[in-house]
């Protein structure tokens, strides 16, 4: 059975039951399934595993976590669906993939929204970040409880054809983006051809020429082996998209208030742990890419790229005007 067929079957079976996740009483044990498309050792994976160890220790093993990295349970779209029905209990997912479900979260998916990584971290740690997490949790169609943010650095464009130094260099390139209309419009505005595709399909698509390139942060570029197929990495840094660690709302409601408080506490700690892991991992990724002969192309002047995506801001900006203002005012 192909993996995708297995995923569909497992989702179907889970949805056919009245309660895919059994509530954990003080006498019973619960093992939460946690999913991530990133490989073992990746900062988001490591921080979630750390959360699980703390949870097991604090509950004397009553509550624990089983991590499934490397898209073992499916790509982001499939695992969101499984988390919504309770077949998966904990999920690390990009805010980019959540945008089509919770429109308000799309504000952080706007190109060149954040002035720097530090600016995005202040948003995540402060009231604006909490407000956005609460909006995910409150959304009637999300089926998720948003626990915390995690860093994912700045996203840049890599491709198999040639270095990108100017906006003109993107023209005609088939570039994979997360399946979100904002990102497709952004890539098209830059002159490329934005191709929506699951993260788990990118490596083979690069190898076979289905796409010419993709856009992501350095660790994703390197540790998912995309750098072996696409040797040109241009530091456009056009997006800073935070990650979200979420819990299935269906499973969450079966937990006691004390257990919920405990998970939220450890999630906040995981947010800060992941940030430190991220800085080291990002540095290692860049060194590995350089050692492999990849061409890292700095882009000192990003103004032409910012000007090129103005149509995206004209189209989507007014809808998120209030939140954009709050984010831009963060000192």
Instruction: Name the least confident of 10-19, 69-78, 115-124, 299-308.
Output: 10-19
Residue range 240-249: mean pLDDT, rounded: 97
Alpha helices (H) in 72-227, listed in sequence order: 76-85, 95-98, 117-125, 127-138, 181-189, 202-208, 218-223
pLDDT at 24: 52
Instruction: Enter the pTM of the model.
Output: 0.89
Q: Give pLDDT tens digits for 254-269.
A: 999 999 999 999 999 9
Decide if pLDDT at 27 tops 60. Answer: no
Question: In whole angstroms, what is the distance from residue 114 CA to residue 119 CA?
Answer: 6
Q: Which residue has the higher pLDDT, 28 or 79?
A: 79
Residue range 273-279: mean pLDDT, rounded: 97
Pinpoint the residues of the chain covered by CATH 3.40.190.170. 28-152+241-282, 155-240+292-328
Nearest one of 212, 247, 224, 253 to 87, comparing CA atoms: 247
pLDDT at 317: 97
Q: Which residue has the higher pLDDT, 11 or 164?
A: 164
Q: Give pLDDT tens digits for 202-230.
A: 999 999 999 999 999 999 999 999 999 99
Decide if pLDDT at 274 tops 80. Answer: yes
Question: In whole angstroms, what is the distance from residue 35 CA to residue 45 CA?
Answer: 8
Q: Which residue has the higher pLDDT, 88 or 27?
A: 88
Percent of the chain with pLDDT over 70: 92
pLDDT at 188: 98
Nearest one of 22, 21, 24 to 256, comparing CA atoms: 24
Burial class of residue 140 in the structure, from the number of CB atoms within 10 Å of its CB (0-12 exposed, 13-18 middle, 19+ buried): exposed
**Class for the domain spanning 155-240+292-328:** alpha beta
Question: In whole angstroms, what is the distance from residue 195 CA to residue 253 CA?
Answer: 37
Q: Which residue has the higher pLDDT, 21 or 272?
A: 272
Decide if pLDDT at 155 tops 60. Answer: yes
CATH architecture of 28-152+241-282: 3-Layer(aba) Sandwich (3.40)
Nearest one of 144, 105, 143, 115 to 242, comparing CA atoms: 105
């Amino acid at each position: 059975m192909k993996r995708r067929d297995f995923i569909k079957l497992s989702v179907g079976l889970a949805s056919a039951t009245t309660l895919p996740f059994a509530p954990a009483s003080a006498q019973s044990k619960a093992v939460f399934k946690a999913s991530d498309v990133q490989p073992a050792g990746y900062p988001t994976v490591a921080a979630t595993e750390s959360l699980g160890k703390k949870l097991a220790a604090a509950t004397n093993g009553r509550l624990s976590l089983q991590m499934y990295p490397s898209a073992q349970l499916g790509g982001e779209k499939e695992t969101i669906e499984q988390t919504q029905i309770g077949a998966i209990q904990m999920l690390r997912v990009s805010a980019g993939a959540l945008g089509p479900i919770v429109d308000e979260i799309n504000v952080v998916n706007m190109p060149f929204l954040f002035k720097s990584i530090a600016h995005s971290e202040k948003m995540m740690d402060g009231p604006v970040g909490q407000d956005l997490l609460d909006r995910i949790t409150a959304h009637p169609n999300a089926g998720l409880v948003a626990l915390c943010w995690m860093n994912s650095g700045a996203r840049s464009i890599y491709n198999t054809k040639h270095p990108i130094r100017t906006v003109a260099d993107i023209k005609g390139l088939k570039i994979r983006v997360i399946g979100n209309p904002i990102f497709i419009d952004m890539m098209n505005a830059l002159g490329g051809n934005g191709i929506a595709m699951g993260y788990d399909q990118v490596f083979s698509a690069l190898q076979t020429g289905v796409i010419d390139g993709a856009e992501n942060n350095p660790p994703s570029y390197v540790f998912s082996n995309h750098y072996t197929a696409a040797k040109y990495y241009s530091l456009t840094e056009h997006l800073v998209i935070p990650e979200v660690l979420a819990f299935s709302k269906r499973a969450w409601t079966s937990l006691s208030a004390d257990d919920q408080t405990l998970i939220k506490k450890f999630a906040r700690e995981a947010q800060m742990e992941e940030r430190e892991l991220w800085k080291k991992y990002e540095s290692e990724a860049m060194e590995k890419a350089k050692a492999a002969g990849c061409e890292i192309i700095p882009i000192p002047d990003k103004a032409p790229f910012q000007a090129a995506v103005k149509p995206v801001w004209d189209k989507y900006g007014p809808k998120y005007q209030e939140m954009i203002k709050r984010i831009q005012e963060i000192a």
